Structure 1
Amino acid sequence: MSQPQIPAAADIGLPPSPVSFRQAFMFWLKLGFISFGGPAGQISIMHQELVENRRWLSERRFLHALNYCMLLPGPEAQQLATYIGWLMHRSWGGIVAGVLFVFPSLLILIGLSWLYIAFGNLPLIAGLFYGVKPAVTAIVLQAAHRIGSRALKNNVLWAIAAASFVAIFALSLPFPLIVATAALIGYIGGRIAPERFKTGGAHGKADQSFGPALIDDDTPTPDHARFRWRSLLRVAIVGALLWAVPMGLLTAAYGWHDTLTQMGWFFTKAAMLTFGGAYAVLPYVYQGAIEHYNWLTPAQMIDGLALGETTPGPLIMVVAFVGFVGGYVKALFGPDSLFLAGAAAAALVTWFTFLPSFLFILAGGPLIEATHHDLKFTAPLTAITAAVVGVILNLAVFFGYHVLWPQGFNGAFDWISALIALAAAVALLRFKRNVIHVIAACAICGLILKIWIL
């Protein structure tokens, strides 16, 4: 991205010219293709472009919207784009911004998933993924470290993280139960010892200024963004129909226990559990998609996560890979329509995963715009985030087991994969290297090893 430049209008105290729907559409389309780097990178891109360069809204309004999105289940960067699009151009503006944040990633992942499942046994592809799998284990470990260093501020939160790890690793308790228990602990703890459950700081300082913004600190809330019970009811009804109609059609056409119907239901539940980012919900996805439904194997899940890390869009788009592989392998539309089955399943799970995110913004945005003060009652979220650290650590153990002992503990230890994983972990944790660069380097190493050495 280019260095921030304040337009000349800022020098004379003038805000930017009004932004047309077409201008906004082109920006959101561009963002959908360049939004690499996970939520931190995506939020950074939006901040630089929308606050610093274009001055579509002020620093304070940006952070106010971000704080709300951080409290919600779902991909916070995609929800932030939806919020800003809605604030600027009403409901259609939010829908366009949110859809374009996801749509390019969906198309790319469908193509990559097809190449993977159809040609993954070729030496070239197999070699690349041999190096990628250990890198993914290191990436998940880095995620646990990154979230933990930010969230575990005291012994109480450390204890919650440790308990959640034991609960899912040793007791195999379901992820939703762990989240619900953590939320209850946070709710009670926030009343008994509120200082132990304070949230971390914001992503930046709200007193920065890059010149007058189109939506500035003191800009009145647009009429469409004012809270009205009628508008809230309309959004709730439309949202319920957008979920119930396709779910009803799937049930009527294929039955409740059909793969497509169960995918819709499973990923609806997953969408409500993505507190703390995509890595938080991945344990729930692997519990269901791998252990319960057998839509894909642990090795395929690791490969899918690698593909998700190297494509634009939110990392939770790995669900599109899960859907594609599940639909393709199950041959939902017969042996002659494997790609169609995979693509349909990928689109289906994307719909049910992201629909709640749009509803949270369109329904809750007016409530948030009614106040520009900090959000309260975040103690349950603080406890959930602490629990998520333990769950993600379990995910790293899960991936590490399948990478380092590919034939199980009774088989040989893959010391070459262990060295690749160690090198990737050092690159990520010690030298702070870019995730995509680490994956690329490990993939090349795996290809060389598979073709010329192993």
Structure 2
Amino acid sequence: MSDPTSPPIDLPAQPSYTLWQLVAYMLGLGTWGFGGPVALVGYMYRDLVEKRRWFTEADYKEGMAIAQLMPGPLAAQLAIYLGYAHYRLTGATLVGLAFVLPSFVMVVALGTAYVSFGGIGWMQAVFYGVGAAVIGIIAMSAYKLTTKNIGKDKLLWAIFAVSLAVTVITQSEVIWLFLGAGVLVWFWRVPPAWLKRGSVNGVAAPLVAMFALDTVDTAKLAKIGAYFAYAGSFVFGSGLAIVPFLYSGVVKEYGWLTDRQFVDAVAVAMITPGPVVITTGFIGYLVAGFWGAVVAAVATFLPCYLLTVLPAPYFKKYGKRPAIVAFVDGVTAAAIGAIAGAVIVIGQRSITDWVTAVLALVTALVLWRFKKVTEPVIVVSAALIGLVVHPLMVHSGA
């Protein structure tokens, strides 16, 4: 056991992988990882916990709990936490950069093409196929997370169901539901002494720190930096939650983009791999060119980086305590319920006719039956199907 005066982290003597192996994995995931945050966290679980065994179930649960409790993009925060778990700040920084950089380069390239050629109409056809396939990918990720983490615990299943329903009804993820689920399981399994005594002395409620960034010097870049730092600091959950928030700001409040441009920006985020929130880089490019993209992306991701690494040592030091384990189990159940709910919400937008419904169903069946078929192969196939079928459906009036 570590001494209370030692640094607030309990590290294994020798991780079973090198930092550069993890960086290389995250660079690859950021390059080919389609499907948005739900699919990405599923890939990390499958590859890093189940297959390679670089991380334990506890490591993954702790990362998911922090990612759900802290504001910012879910998948990026989980990646940053896993980088921190064994290699601390250096690991968190390199892993975070490796995960985000590929999709940032892609959206800047697409932004250049968008501005040069006046739009991206061809993306509608691609997204027609890819969006449907993504639903199948996300559904399988949600299924695996549910069966692995919920088990037969009736309380966790109840939390899962409530979280799923709230996500579907509100079409967003509710931070107080995650916190409440954690506290409920904690009090149910390991009632605090003050609760048994009927006293409230010594109550410690978890606090969510907020961080805002505004360090750029020109007027327009300063406004972009401030707004996207605010978005990264105050929006909880995945790209599903941040999209309506961004719409109200960049279209309604500031008038930086038209409705059509904003829809195209979301399409870019969905058909490129990596975190969905990288759409902020594309928006920044349309508003102020390359440096607008840099400022928007940095301002969005820096708060989530800090709000992951700052609480991480305390999760590692105190995370094995029964009360913390119960709290994390409750948060995890609520998070997985929200992920399952997101499948339904996103599906309502992506499945628009019988072709997309079949694509989503076939994707899920292929991933379930044929373990060696990889997601990039499915995404490329779906994109090609979309390019061929979408024009036919439009012309037929379907």
How far apart are residue 435 of structure 1 and its match?
5.5
Residue aligning to 2:69: 71
How far apart are residue 69 of structure 1 and its match?
2.5
- 1:94 to 2:100 alignment: no
Q: In terms of mean alpha carbon deviation, does 308-317 or 70-79 score higher?
A: 70-79
Residue aligning to 2:278: 317
- 1:306 to 2:238 alignment: no
- 1:346 to 2:278 alignment: no
Pair 1:298–1:87, CA change in 2 (3 A): same
Q: In terms of mean alpha carbon deviation, does 60-69 or 372-381 score higher?
A: 372-381
- C-alpha distance in 1, partners of 2:18/2:332? 37
Q: How does 1:248-259 map to 2 (within 5 A)?
A: 248-250=215-217, 253-254=218-219, 258=220
- Give ranges in structure 1 of 5+ residues lacking alignment: 1-14, 166-174, 199-235, 328-340, 401-417
How far apart are residue 387 of structure 1 and its match?
9.2
Q: How does 1:160-239 map to 2 (within 5 A)?
A: 160=166, 164=170, 194=184
Residue aligning to 2:231: 270
Query: Is the 1:64–1:372 contact (alpha carbons within 8 Å) kept by the matching residues of 2?
Result: no
- 1:363 to 2:295 alignment: no
- C-alpha distance in 2, partners of 1:395/1:389? 10
Structure 1, residues 340-377: CA drift from partner, whole Å, max 9, x if none? x4221111111111111211221010111022352528
- 1:34 to 2:32 alignment: yes
How far apart are residue 285 of structure 1 and its match?
1.2
Pair 1:136–1:295, CA change in 2 (3 A): farther
Residue aligning to 1:428: 360
Identity fraction in percent: 25
Pair 1:110–1:185, CA change in 2 (3 A): closer
- C-alpha distance in 2, partners of 1:55/1:380? 23
- C-alpha distance in 2, partners of 1:310/1:262? 28
How far apart are residue 266 of structure 1 and its match?
2.0
Residue aligning to 2:327: 376
> In terms of Rg, which structure is larger?
1
Query: Is the 1:275–1:385 contact (alpha carbons within 8 Å) kept by the matching residues of 2?
Result: no
- The letter of the residue matching 1:33 is T
Look up the SS of the partner of 2:327 in the other structure: coil
Structure 1, residues 375-420: CA drift from partner, whole Å, max 9, x if none? 52898998899899999988988x79xxxxxxxxxxxxxxxxx9x6
How far apart are residue 93 of structure 1 and its match?
1.4
Pair 1:249–1:266, CA change in 2 (3 A): closer
Kindly report the root-mean-square deviation, in angstroms, between the aligned alpha carbons of the 2 structures.
Answer: 4.7
Residue aligning to 2:108: 110
How far apart are residue 294 of structure 1 and its match?
2.4
- C-alpha distance in 1, partners of 2:340/2:295? 29
How far apart are residue 287 of structure 1 and its match?
1.8
- Give ranges in structure 2 of 5+ residues lacking alignment: 1-12, 147-156, 189-208, 367-377
- The letter of the residue matching 1:129 is M
- The letter of the residue matching 1:443 is L
Query: Is the 1:79–1:357 contact (alpha carbons within 8 Å) kept by the matching residues of 2?
Result: yes
Residue aligning to 2:123: 129
- C-alpha distance in 2, partners of 1:27/1:396? 29
**What is the total number of aligned residue pairs between the two structures?**
336
Residue aligning to 2:242: 281
How far apart are residue 78 of structure 1 and its match?
2.0
- C-alpha distance in 1, partners of 2:65/2:109? 34
Structure 1, residues 180-213: CA drift from partner, whole Å, max 9, x if none? xx5568878998xx58xx9xxxxxxxxxxxxxxx
- C-alpha distance in 1, partners of 2:98/2:252? 33
Query: Is the 1:135–1:442 contact (alpha carbons within 8 Å) kept by the matching residues of 2?
Result: yes
- 1:295 to 2:246 alignment: no
- The letter of the residue matching 1:364 is P
Pair 1:265–1:147, CA change in 2 (3 A): farther
Query: Is the 1:184–1:380 contact (alpha carbons within 8 Å) kept by the matching residues of 2?
Result: no
Query: Is the 1:73–1:273 contact (alpha carbons within 8 Å) kept by the matching residues of 2?
Result: yes
How far apart are residue 102 of structure 1 and its match?
0.1
- C-alpha distance in 1, partners of 2:78/2:180? 29
- The letter of the residue matching 2:98 is L
Structure 1, residues 47-90: CA drift from partner, whole Å, max 9, x if none? 44434554433343333333332333323322222122222222
TM-score (norm 1): 0.58
How far apart are residue 301 of structure 1 and its match?
2.7
Pair 1:382–1:80, CA change in 2 (3 A): closer
Pair 1:365–1:264, CA change in 2 (3 A): same
